[in-house]
C-alpha cells in the first residue's frame, strides 16, 4: 500500500497532534503501514510547548491529500468531515481513532474504526500500543500524555474516563515527568492570550458543527483570568462577526474557560441566540453569560446546543 497520511482535526490541539504522531508510529511498527503524521494547521502555544519539551519536530502542515499525491488517510481525534482535510470526500479513509460523537461521516468502503468515550484520542492510541505489545518511545509517551492532559484539563474535566487516571500515570512514568507539575506548566503555556489578535484568539481551538441545518462554530480559549479576555469584548465580537460573514456560520459560541476554577463564560453571537440561551438555561447579557462548572465543549456545550437546535 502507498503512503497513508495520519492527521487530527483542523486547528490542531495537543491531542490531535499527539494522537496522530503516536498512531502513525504504531501503524508502522504493528501493522506495517507506510504512514506519515501531518497536521491541518500550525500547533498552538500549548502544543508548541509540548513539542519543544519533548524535543519533537512539529509535523508538516498539509491542506490537501490529493496535492500530496496521497489517496488514503487515517483520522485521529475527529471524524466529522467539516473538521477534516479539505478534500476528505475525495480520498479513502482507511481508519479512524476518535473519542467524539459520530456525525456527518460516510465512506464508500469498510474501514477500521476505534471509537471510545474516553478523555482523549491519545488514551485510545496508548491502549492500542499495549494491545499490540509495541514499546512506547519516551517522546511519544510525552505527546500522548499531553493530549490527555489538554483534553481533560489535567483530569478535571467531566470528559475524563475512569481509565484515564491510570493511563495518565503510566504515560507520565514513561515520559519521565511529574504528572501534576508538568500538566500545570503545560496548561499555563496555552493561556498567554494577551499577545494574540482577536482573530487568532477565536480560532485557536474552534470547530464547526452542523446543527439542524445551521453551521454553528464553537470555539474555546483557556485562561487564568476570564475578565482579562472580556476586557477585549468589542474587538472579539468584531472578529466573530467577520468570521460569520466570511464562513457562513449562523452562530458563533466562544467558551472562555478558567482552567484554575473550572468555570466558563459563554460569549455568543448569531441568528439563534434564543436556542443558545435555552441550551444552557441562562440569559445572555451584553452577549455573554456565566456557565458554572463548564470546561468541556464536547460534553457540556455541544450536546446541549444540539438538543436545543433540534428541539
165 appears as a binding residue in the annotation:
no
- Dihedral through CA 78, CA 39, CA 223, CA 181, nearest 10? 100
Which cell goes with 305?
446546543
15 is in an annotated binding site: yes
Compute how many other C-beta atoms are within 10 angstroms of the C-beta atom of residue 71.
16
Instruction: Flag whether 151 is marked binding.
Output: yes
- Alpha-carbon distance of 147 to 155, in angstroms, equals 11
Residue 34 known to bind ligand: no
Q: Say if residue 205 carries a ligand binding annotation.
A: no
**What nine digits make up the cell of 30?**
504493528
Q: Is 258 annotated as a binding residue?
A: no
DSSP code string of 14-41: HHHHHHHHHHHHHHHHHH---EEE-BSS
List all residues 6 or more positions away from 129 whose beta carbon is below 8 Å from its beta carbon.
22, 26, 135, 136
Q: At 91, list the grid cell.
A: 480520498
Query: What b-and-e string marks burial along 222-246, b requiring 16 or more CB atoms within 10 Å of the CB?
Result: bbeebeebeebeeebbebbeebbee
The answer to whether residues 144 and 125 touch, using CB atoms and an 8 Å cutoff, is yes
Summarize the annotated binding site as residue ranges. 9, 13, 15, 77, 99, 151
Known binding site for Mn(2+): residues?
9, 13, 15, 77, 99, 151
Amino acid at each position: 500500500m502507498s503512503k497513508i497520511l495520519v492527521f487530527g482535526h483542523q486547528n490542531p490541539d495537543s491531542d490531535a497532534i499527539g494522537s496522530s504522531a503516536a498512531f502513525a508510529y504504531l501503524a508502522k511498527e504493528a501493522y506495517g503501514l507506510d504512514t506519515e503524521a501531518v497536521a491541518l494547521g500550525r500547533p498552538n502555544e500549548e502544543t508548541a510547548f509540548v513539542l519543544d519539551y519533548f524535543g519533537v519536530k512539529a509535523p508538516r502542515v498539509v491542506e490537501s491529500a490529493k496535492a500530496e499525491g496521497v489517496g488514503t488517510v487515517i483520522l485521529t481525534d475527529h471524524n466529522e468531515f467539516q473538521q477534516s482535510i479539505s478534500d476528505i470526500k475525495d480520498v479513502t479513509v482507511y481508519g479512524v481513532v476518535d473519542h467524539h460523537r459520530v456525525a456527518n461521516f460516510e465512506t464508500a468502503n469498510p474501514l477500521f474504526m476505534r471509537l471510545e468515550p474516553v478523555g482523549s484520542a491519545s488514551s485510545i492510541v496508548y491502549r492500542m500500543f499495549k494491545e499490540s505489545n509495541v514499546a512506547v518511545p519516551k517522546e511519544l509517551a510525552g505527546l500522548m500524555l499531553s493530549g490527555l492532559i489538554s483534553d481533560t484539563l489535567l483530569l478535571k474535566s467531566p470528559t475524563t474516563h475512569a481509565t484515564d487516571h491510570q493511563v495518565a500515570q503510566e504515560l507520565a512514568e514513561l515520559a519521565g515527568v511529574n504528572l501534576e507539575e508538568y500538566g500545570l506548566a503545560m496548561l499555563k503555556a496555552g493561556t498567554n492570550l494577551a499577545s494574540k489578535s482577536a482573530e487568532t484568539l477565536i480560532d485557536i481551538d474552534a470547530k464547526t458543527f452542523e446543527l439542524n441545518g445551521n453551521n454553528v462554530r464553537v470555539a474555546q480559549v483557556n485562561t487564568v483570568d476570564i475578565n482579562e479576555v472580556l476586557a477585549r469584548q468589542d474587538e472579539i465580537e468584531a472578529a466573530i462577526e467577520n468570521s460569520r460573514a466570511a464562513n457562513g456560520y449562523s452562530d458563533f459560541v466562544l467558551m472562555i474557560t478558567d482552567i484554575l476554577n473550572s468555570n466558563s463564560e459563554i460569549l455568543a453571537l448569531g441568528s439563534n441566540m434564543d436556542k443558545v440561551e435555552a441550551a444552557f438555561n441562562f440569559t445572555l447579557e451584553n452577549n455573554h453569560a456565566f456557565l458554572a462548572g463548564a470546561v468541556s465543549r464536547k460534553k457540556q456545550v455541544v450536546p446541549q446546543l444540539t438538543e436545543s437546535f433540534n428541539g
